[in-house]
Amino acid sequence: MAKVFVVTSGKGGVGKTTVTANIGCALANKGAKVCLIDADIGLKNLDIALGLENRVVHTILDVANGKVTASEALVRHKQIKGLYLLAASQIATKEMLSPEDMKKIVAEIYPKFDYIIVDSPAGIERGFRNAIAAAERALVVTTPELPAITDADRVIGLLENSGMLESNIRLLINRFKIQMVKRGDMLTREDIQGNLAIDLIGIIPDSDEVIVATNKGVPVVLNGNGEGIGRVFNNIAQRIKGEAIPVENDIQEQGSRGFLEFLKRLFRRN
Amino acid sequence: MFFGLFRKKKKTEGSRKEAKDRLESITGGRRYSVPVREVIPQELLQSSGKDMIYQIKAYVADKYKVKEENVKVQLEEHNGYVVIITNVVFH
């Protein structure tokens, strides 16, 4: 039986899709059977983040309309056997899917997977309600900026109102800039967590690696050598699986890596 | 310009503190939920509205450190539910 997560934020552009793709890859790499569902109908991106845009034949709307079953619409990842995608449609609107449709779709694939992760669109309207309809757990993504944090706060309230247990809502801080925090120019992990009052599942440092990986259509977890940001996503996947890995590890590695990168850059020829 | 490289930078206060204060003022108390029995004991829930109003006033005045006369409580009935409307004057 699957654990069903929604990755949400309220604010757009904080990295929900990147987080969904990478956590999905990391979990599947560890042997879990994972289904990623793109609930961002009309503005889909998850297939692009996974490099599967040319493999999508059927979308979530085809499933909702009864054209195909959910299992028939799934696309298997090129490199990872246990990772599947249920893509969204580009030429449709969020109103064409209902929360009931989402519940039915998830119910169909529920017994076949260990994890189902729904990538929510930005906002708190219909698309958000569709995305959270079947989820028992949530990963709330925020960046360390006020608009993103206040939107995350609103979303946490809405998730609680929808009946989700507070203990099932976890916070993920993305694009954390350690140097800015050291300079006193960015909110710390404690500032953010203290205000949002939910457990933290990971801190993803700001990194160019993500952009390079997205350019290639290969999630950063698969793109590197298991170091850097890829390691952070692996840490998060392990925490999702219930392993106790201190969140401090996510930024400690990056702090020392920052110095190594600096030395490398210093002696690089071009 | 060359000597400027070695000049000690003036230490300026970062923007974190300002961001933290603003964040607290925006989110502080937005999701503050209190179980109703913490404010109103079970026996008072079944008694008169006046006792309930008195209890809420005392709780809010203590919680926010304001005088009881600065707390206004109204009970209204909507669709079969009792709705408690509480206004607090802080200044």
Structural domain harbouring B70:
66-90
Count the domains in chain B.
Answer: 1
- Rounded to the nearest angstrom, the minimum Cα separation between B35 and chain A is 15
Confidence of residue B6 (pLDDT cuts 50, 70, 90): low
CB contacts of B23 in chain A (<8 Å) are 146, 149-150, 187, 191, 195
CA distance A232 to A221: 9
Q: What contacts A262, CB < 8 A, 6 or more positions away?
A: none
Residue B31 within a domain:
no
Contacts of B13 in chain A (CB under 8 A): 184
Q: Which residues of A touch B22 (CB under 8 A)?
A: 146
Whether residue B58 is contained in a domain is answered as no
* Minimum distance, in Å, between the CA of residue B33 and any CA atom of chain A: 10
By three-state DSSP, how is residue A41 classified?
coil
> What pLDDT sits at residue B75?
84
CA separation, residue B33 to residues A136, A162, B39, B87 (Å): 21, 15, 11, 16
The beta-carbon neighbor of A195 closest among B13, B15, B27 is B27
pLDDT attached to residue A117: 98
Residue A187: closest C-alpha in chain B: B16
Tens digit of each residue's pLDDT (9 = 90 or more) over B30-60: 566 667 777 777 777 777 778 888 889 999 9
pTM for the predicted model, two decimal places:
0.79
Complex ipTM tops 0.95: no
CA count, 13 A, side-chain hemisphere, A176: 29
Q: What is the pLDDT of residues A221-245, one digit of tens each?
A: 987 666 789 999 999 999 999 999 9
pLDDT value, residue B32: 61
pLDDT given at position A134: 95
Mutate to test the interface with B, among A143, A153, A169, A180 (most CBs of B within 10 A): A153
- How distant is the Cα of A179 from the closest Cα of chain B, in angstroms? 12
Tell if the CB–CB gap between B13 and A197 is shorter than 8 Å: no
pLDDT of B9: 60
* A181 contact B CB<8A: yes
pLDDT of residue A50: 94
B15 part of a folded domain? no
Element of type H or E holding A84: strand A83-86
Structural domain includes residue B20: no
All residue ranges of chain A with pLDDT < 70 are: 224-226, 253-270
Query: What pLDDT shows up at residue A228?
Result: 84
**Would you say A2 and A109 are in contact if contact means Cβ atoms under 8 Å apart?**
yes
Does B71 fall in a domain? yes
Q: What confidence score (pLDDT) does residue A133 get?
A: 96
Q: End-to-end distance of chain A based on CA atoms, in angstroms? A: 51
Please tell me the predicted confidence (pLDDT) of residue A224: 66
Domain-embedded: residue B78: yes
Whether B55 is in a domain gets the answer no
Q: Is residue B82 part of a domain?
A: yes
